[in-house]
Amino acid sequence: MLYPLYALLFADAGLSAGQISTLLILWSVAVSVLEVPTGVLADTLPRRALLAVAPLFSAAGFALWTLVPAYPAFAAGFVLWAVGLALASGTLQALVYDELAAAGATGAYARLIGRSRALGTAAIAASTALAAPVMAAGGYPAVGAGSVLAMLGAALAALAFPTARRTPGPEQDGEEAAPAAAGPWWRRHAAVLGAALGEARRSAAVRTGLVAMAVLMGATALDEFLPLLAASLAAGPAAVPLLLVPAAVLAAAGEWAAGRGVRRAAPVLAAAAALLAAGALIGHPVGMVLVGAAFGAFEWASVAAETRVQHAVAGPARATVLSVGGLGAEAVAVLAYAGYGLGSQAAGPGVLFALAAPVFLLIAPLLRTRTGSGRARRDRYWRR
């Protein structure tokens, strides 16, 4: 419940806009630095254990924010939160895919991941709404306590996952045969990282999937600025929350529909880019519906790109490969934030969102269905 309100918490503690910006930069840098190393950990250590530990770091960060509302504690809390996010990034996806592979049901991956993200989007909206009466009753300490309890609940939920059976690769036959299992830890980690980079080097499907995944996940970070776009189209401040509802609902709908119609991913993404530009430039509140539909399609396409990577990975470094995509997404997100910040000096939100549309248009060809006997098994997902 706490993190949607962090800007208010920091401002209430007397932080300036510049100090808040430095905290966000620290957070982004920390996630970027930790993304790949934690992916390597997920390919060498039990993933269920990592998923159980990850929320504890976030809980510690939220507790610091609540108990010591000062800049140093906020900075430390962001680093702890970054550790938790990085530990879970790629780890959950790899665990789910390997369990589905063991059950012969990898075709269900996109549907399961998409629906879990849709429920997560709905949960964030619900927790944000719930935070208002909780804060009115008990202030930030009550909201912070609720956030810490939620993270502890997430840790317990992670223990309910089965122990992932790693997908066998060329040098691996089950979890006990992890790459370079013997030798010092740094050699084992180097072997996993080398296997991940080898996947990208050998497989065009992995490379194009990672690029599409990074751009889609990173560029959709622009949704942080949707309130500014809504404010530019609303008749008054009271109407802004109402204009944001379609974006949230349609984003969740796109995630829920993941796994369907993937054969048409490229034209759908191109159409979504057009909707984004049209909705941003129309200069009317109805434009938020078009923008929301575009973001729903982007979320749907990002699951499709991630699923393509999952189907293409053949070796033992699945979580590390996914973390490389996560690192790329963080880099794209930073560029998106910087571009919006610089562009805002010369243009309004509508123009800036419209200028982002070509990025999605350019990435659409990477989601085209591939053919050819050599790729038939790897790309069977895309012929649905």
* Residues 212 and 294 occupy one common structural domain: yes
> Does any domain span residue 172?
no
Q: Single out the residue in 134, 167, 200 at which a domain terminates.
A: 167
* Residues 99 and 215 occupy one common structural domain: no
In contact, 35 and 210? CB cutoff 8 Å = no
Q: Which pTM does this prediction carry?
A: 0.76
Cβ neighbours around 351 below 10 Å, total: 15
* Residues 147 and 190 occupy one common structural domain: no
pLDDT confidence band for 372 (50 / 70 / 90): very low
Tens-place pLDDT, residues 168-213: 543 343 333 344 445 565 566 677 777 777 777 777 888 888 888 8
> Does any domain span residue 177?
no
**Count of structural domains, the chain:** 2
Tens-place pLDDT, residues 285-334: 889 999 999 999 999 999 988 888 888 888 778 888 888 888 888 888 88
What pLDDT sits at residue 256? 92
Please indicate whether residue 110 or residue 381 has the higher confidence score (pLDDT): 110
Q: Is a pLDDT exceeding 90 seen at residue 344?
A: no
Of the candidates 261, 296, 262, the residue with the CA atom closest to the CA atom of residue 276: 296
Cβ neighbours around 176 below 10 Å, total: 8
How far, CA to CA in Å, does 244 sit from each of 125, 288, 293, 353?
Answer: 11, 7, 12, 15
Tens-place pLDDT, residues 347-370: 888 999 999 999 998 888 888 765
Tens-place pLDDT, residues 142-165: 888 988 999 999 999 999 888 756
Tens-place pLDDT, residues 247-296: 888 888 998 998 888 788 888 999 999 999 999 999 888 899 999 999 99
CATH number of the domain within which 49 lies: 1.20.1250
Q: Single out the residue in 100, 135, 167 at which a domain terminates.
A: 167
Instruction: Report, as an integer, the average pLDDT of 330-353.
Output: 85
* Residues 140 and 193 occupy one common structural domain: no
> Does any domain span residue 246?
yes
What pLDDT sits at residue 375? 42
* Residues 209 and 349 occupy one common structural domain: yes
> Does any domain span residue 180?
no
Q: Is a pLDDT exceeding 60 seen at residue 74?
A: yes
Q: Single out the residue in 137, 167, 197 at which a domain terminates.
A: 167
* Residues 101 and 196 occupy one common structural domain: no
CATH number of the domain within which 328 lies: 1.20.1250.20
* Residues 230 and 148 occupy one common structural domain: no
Residue 265: give the domain boundaries.
185-384
How far, CA to CA in Å, does 123 sit from each of 1, 10, 114, 127, 383?
Answer: 10, 23, 14, 6, 33
Q: What rounded mean pLDDT belongs to the chain?
A: 81
> Does any domain span residue 276?
yes
> What length is written for the chain?
384
CA R_g for the chain:
21
What pLDDT sits at residue 369? 61
What pLDDT sits at residue 233? 81
> Does any domain span residue 18?
yes
What pLDDT sits at residue 379? 40
> Does any domain span residue 179?
no
- Strands (DSSP E) contained in 75-218 are none
Cβ neighbours around 341 below 10 Å, total: 12
* Residues 29 and 127 occupy one common structural domain: yes
> Does any domain span residue 193?
yes
* Residues 124 and 221 occupy one common structural domain: no
Q: How far apart are CA 104 and CA 62, in angstroms?
A: 39
* Residues 97 and 190 occupy one common structural domain: no
* Residues 113 and 205 occupy one common structural domain: no
Give the angle 218-224-227 at the CA atoms, nearest 5°: 150
pLDDT confidence band for 7 (50 / 70 / 90): low
* Residues 201 and 340 occupy one common structural domain: yes
